[in-house]
Amino acid sequence: MEHTEHAELPLIPITLDFIAHQLDVQQNGILAEYGITSRQSKILLFLLHNQEKPVYQKDIEAFFSMRSSTITSIMGYLEKGGFLMRSPCETDARAKRITVTQKGRDLRRVIAGLLYRQEAQVTRGMSPEETALLRRLLRRVSANLCEGPCGPRR
Protein backbone atom coordinates (compact mmCIF):
# COMPACT_ATOMS: atom_id res chain seq x y z
CA MET A 1 0.00 0.00 0.00
CA GLU A 2 1.45 3.32 -1.04
CA HIS A 3 1.33 6.34 1.18
CA THR A 4 -0.76 9.16 -0.19
CA GLU A 5 -1.54 12.52 1.30
CA HIS A 6 -5.21 11.63 1.67
CA ALA A 7 -4.72 8.06 2.83
CA GLU A 8 -5.93 7.05 6.26
CA LEU A 9 -3.24 6.74 8.91
CA PRO A 10 -1.92 3.18 9.42
CA LEU A 11 -3.88 2.53 12.60
CA ILE A 12 -2.94 -1.13 13.11
CA PRO A 13 0.65 -0.41 14.24
CA ILE A 14 -0.56 2.46 16.42
CA THR A 15 -3.30 0.32 17.93
CA LEU A 16 -0.94 -2.61 18.58
CA ASP A 17 1.55 -0.25 20.24
CA PHE A 18 -1.20 1.25 22.40
CA ILE A 19 -2.43 -2.21 23.45
CA ALA A 20 1.10 -3.35 24.31
CA HIS A 21 1.62 -0.19 26.36
CA GLN A 22 -1.65 -0.64 28.27
CA LEU A 23 -0.78 -4.27 29.05
CA ASP A 24 2.67 -3.23 30.29
CA VAL A 25 1.21 -0.49 32.48
CA GLN A 26 -1.19 -2.97 34.09
CA GLN A 27 1.54 -5.59 34.53
CA ASN A 28 4.02 -3.13 36.02
CA GLY A 29 1.41 -1.88 38.48
CA ILE A 30 0.80 -5.38 39.79
CA LEU A 31 4.34 -6.75 39.54
CA ALA A 32 5.89 -3.80 41.40
CA GLU A 33 4.70 -5.47 44.62
CA TYR A 34 7.01 -8.40 43.79
CA GLY A 35 9.99 -6.28 42.80
CA ILE A 36 9.99 -7.01 39.07
CA THR A 37 8.85 -5.31 35.88
CA SER A 38 6.74 -6.55 33.01
CA ARG A 39 9.79 -7.12 30.82
CA GLN A 40 11.63 -8.95 33.61
CA SER A 41 8.58 -11.14 34.23
CA LYS A 42 8.48 -12.24 30.59
CA ILE A 43 12.13 -13.26 30.70
CA LEU A 44 11.55 -15.07 34.00
CA LEU A 45 8.57 -16.90 32.47
CA PHE A 46 10.71 -17.87 29.45
CA LEU A 47 13.33 -19.30 31.81
CA LEU A 48 10.71 -21.17 33.82
CA HIS A 49 9.20 -22.61 30.65
CA ASN A 50 12.64 -23.82 29.53
CA GLN A 51 14.09 -24.90 32.87
CA GLU A 52 14.42 -28.55 31.79
CA LYS A 53 17.32 -27.64 29.49
CA PRO A 54 20.38 -25.41 29.83
CA VAL A 55 19.54 -21.78 28.97
CA TYR A 56 22.16 -19.16 28.18
CA GLN A 57 21.90 -15.43 27.63
CA LYS A 58 22.21 -15.87 23.85
CA ASP A 59 19.03 -18.00 23.94
CA ILE A 60 17.12 -15.17 25.60
CA GLU A 61 18.56 -12.59 23.21
CA ALA A 62 17.46 -14.69 20.22
CA PHE A 63 13.97 -15.44 21.55
CA PHE A 64 13.16 -11.83 22.47
CA SER A 65 15.13 -10.23 19.60
CA MET A 66 16.87 -7.99 22.09
CA ARG A 67 20.38 -6.59 22.32
CA SER A 68 22.95 -8.31 24.48
CA SER A 69 23.39 -5.16 26.58
CA THR A 70 19.65 -4.96 27.27
CA ILE A 71 19.45 -8.61 28.33
CA THR A 72 22.59 -8.23 30.46
CA SER A 73 20.96 -5.33 32.30
CA ILE A 74 17.68 -7.20 32.85
CA MET A 75 19.54 -10.31 34.00
CA GLY A 76 21.54 -8.21 36.45
CA TYR A 77 18.36 -6.88 38.06
CA LEU A 78 16.83 -10.35 38.25
CA GLU A 79 20.00 -11.79 39.75
CA LYS A 80 20.35 -8.92 42.24
CA GLY A 81 16.70 -9.46 43.23
CA GLY A 82 17.38 -13.14 43.90
CA PHE A 83 15.14 -14.43 41.07
CA LEU A 84 17.88 -16.19 39.11
CA MET A 85 21.52 -17.26 39.21
CA ARG A 86 24.16 -17.20 36.50
CA SER A 87 26.86 -19.85 36.67
CA PRO A 88 29.73 -20.70 34.31
CA CYS A 89 29.10 -23.31 31.65
CA GLU A 90 31.13 -26.47 32.23
CA THR A 91 32.44 -26.47 28.65
CA ASP A 92 32.80 -22.70 28.07
CA ALA A 93 33.60 -20.48 31.06
CA ARG A 94 32.61 -17.38 29.05
CA ALA A 95 29.03 -18.60 28.73
CA LYS A 96 26.81 -18.36 31.79
CA ARG A 97 24.05 -20.88 32.38
CA ILE A 98 20.97 -19.23 33.81
CA THR A 99 18.85 -20.96 36.42
CA VAL A 100 15.79 -19.73 38.25
CA THR A 101 15.93 -19.65 42.04
CA GLN A 102 13.10 -20.71 44.33
CA LYS A 103 12.15 -17.04 44.71
CA GLY A 104 11.82 -16.86 40.92
CA ARG A 105 9.87 -20.13 40.74
CA ASP A 106 7.49 -18.79 43.39
CA LEU A 107 6.46 -16.04 40.95
CA ARG A 108 5.31 -18.44 38.24
CA ARG A 109 1.71 -18.51 39.47
CA VAL A 110 1.63 -14.75 39.98
CA ILE A 111 2.90 -14.02 36.46
CA ALA A 112 0.78 -16.71 34.78
CA GLY A 113 -2.30 -15.60 36.71
CA LEU A 114 -1.77 -12.01 35.65
CA LEU A 115 -1.41 -13.02 32.00
CA TYR A 116 -4.54 -15.22 32.14
CA ARG A 117 -6.52 -12.34 33.68
CA GLN A 118 -5.29 -9.98 30.98
CA GLU A 119 -6.17 -12.46 28.24
CA ALA A 120 -9.68 -12.73 29.69
CA GLN A 121 -9.90 -8.94 29.76
CA VAL A 122 -8.65 -8.59 26.18
CA THR A 123 -11.06 -11.23 24.85
CA ARG A 124 -14.09 -10.23 26.95
CA GLY A 125 -17.20 -10.29 24.79
CA MET A 126 -15.57 -12.48 22.13
CA SER A 127 -16.82 -15.93 21.26
CA PRO A 128 -14.35 -18.84 21.47
CA GLU A 129 -14.20 -18.76 17.66
CA GLU A 130 -13.36 -15.05 17.66
CA THR A 131 -10.69 -15.59 20.31
CA ALA A 132 -9.16 -18.40 18.23
CA LEU A 133 -9.26 -16.18 15.14
CA LEU A 134 -7.56 -13.35 17.05
CA ARG A 135 -4.78 -15.74 18.12
CA ARG A 136 -4.28 -16.93 14.54
CA LEU A 137 -4.22 -13.37 13.19
CA LEU A 138 -1.76 -12.18 15.84
CA ARG A 139 0.54 -15.14 15.08
CA ARG A 140 0.37 -14.18 11.40
CA VAL A 141 1.19 -10.55 12.24
CA SER A 142 4.17 -11.73 14.26
CA ALA A 143 5.36 -13.98 11.44
CA ASN A 144 4.93 -11.16 8.92
CA LEU A 145 7.04 -8.85 11.05
CA CYS A 146 9.77 -11.47 11.35
CA GLU A 147 10.05 -11.90 7.58
CA GLY A 148 12.40 -8.91 7.53
CA PRO A 149 15.17 -8.14 9.98
CA CYS A 150 13.86 -9.75 13.15
CA GLY A 151 17.02 -10.72 15.02
CA PRO A 152 18.63 -8.86 17.89
CA ARG A 153 19.78 -5.38 17.01
CA ARG A 154 23.46 -4.89 17.74
Instruction: Please write the tens of the pLDDT for every residue from 137-149.
Output: 999 999 998 876 5
Q: Look up the CATH number of the domain holding residue 83.
A: 1.10.10.10
Note whether residue 90 is domain-resident: yes
| Biggest CA-to-CA distance, the chain | 61
Verify that 37 and 75 share a domain, yes or no. yes
Verify that 41 and 84 share a domain, yes or no. yes
Model confidence pLDDT, tens digit, residues 101-148: 999 999 999 999 999 999 999 999 999 999 999 999 999 999 998 876
Considering the chain, what percentage of its residues have pLDDT values greater than 70? 90
Assign 96 to helix, strand or coil.
Answer: strand
* Alpha-carbon span 89 to 7, nearest angstrom: 54
* Alpha-carbon span 100 to 2, nearest angstrom: 48
pTM above 0.85, yes or no: no
Verify that 75 and 141 share a domain, yes or no. no
Verify that 67 and 104 share a domain, yes or no. yes
Verify that 77 and 108 share a domain, yes or no. yes
E strands in the chain:
84-88, 96-100
Q: Which residues contact 42 (CB under 8 A, 6 or more apart)?
A: 64
Q: Which structural domain, as residue segments, surrounds residue 145?
A: 123-154
Note whether residue 17 is domain-resident: no
Contact 98, 47 (CB under 8 A): yes
Verify that 85 and 146 share a domain, yes or no. no
